[in-house]
Structure 1
């Protein structure tokens, strides 16, 4: 499974506009920005690639490092 952080979409932008927590997540990310839909799609395509046949039972966190709490 994939657990995305804030992604630059209409919904993601609205969340940042109304939520202090969302703004803090961006500040904590390594890039100090929301992720792009293309970046999320690339990660999903990479995980789903048939060459990853031995990959199973994991959750991939795609949040630009925001969940680490480091600045």
Structure 2
């Protein structure tokens, strides 16, 4: 089962669009264009949802989180 994370590698602003693209298996450019168009046509509602989601969705775990949380590390 996939989990939704903000991307560390495919990040322009917060990594949310890159994480959504990885979750749905599509190109991040499509998600970014949809966010820009949605923000324009919704008069900022999508921008508000984007900001809330960027705060709520956790950052993708990296190697440093693995070693800091792993009690069996060397």
Higher relative contact order (CA 8 A, sep 6+): 1
More helix by share: 2
Shorter-chain TM-score range: under 0.3
TM-score (norm 2): 0.26
TM-score (norm 1): 0.27
More strand by share: 1
The structure that has the greater radius of gyration is 2
